[in-house]
Amino acid sequence: MRNHATEAEKILWSCLKKSTLGYKFIRQYSVEGYVVDFYCPKGKLAIEVDGAVHRNLGQKIYDQYRTELLNAWGIKLIRFWNWEVKNNLSQVLHKIELVLPS
């Protein structure tokens, strides 16, 4: 999966891997058997970048289940659409910054 990142994931990773937000992120990280696109251990923050498949009902239900499980383990999960990352990266980074502990 790591070698097949979407364009949006590559764009976001180019910012997160440099620790521009002051936190270290890991790409394609397994948390309790679930792989998240990006994970910040210190901030206990998982980030998912979603495409069109996440609009179908079955996927929405599964995504909600994963979000609740991660939250139960003390991990906050935030999601962005591919188009958000591609078209408004600065706002995406700002939203991530707001969720990270100060």
In-domain check, residue 56: no
In-domain check, residue 27: yes
Q: How far apart are CA 38 and CA 43, in angstroms?
A: 12
**pTM (predicted TM-score):** 0.88
In-domain check, residue 8: yes
Burial of 37 (C-beta count, 10 Å sphere; 0-12/13-18/19+): buried
In-domain check, residue 57: no
In-domain check, residue 60: no
Q: How confident is the model at residue 52 (pLDDT cuts 50, 70, 90)?
A: low
pLDDT of amino acid 94: 96
In-domain check, residue 66: no
* Structural domains counted in the chain: 1
In-domain check, residue 54: no
Range of the domain at 85: 2-45+72-99
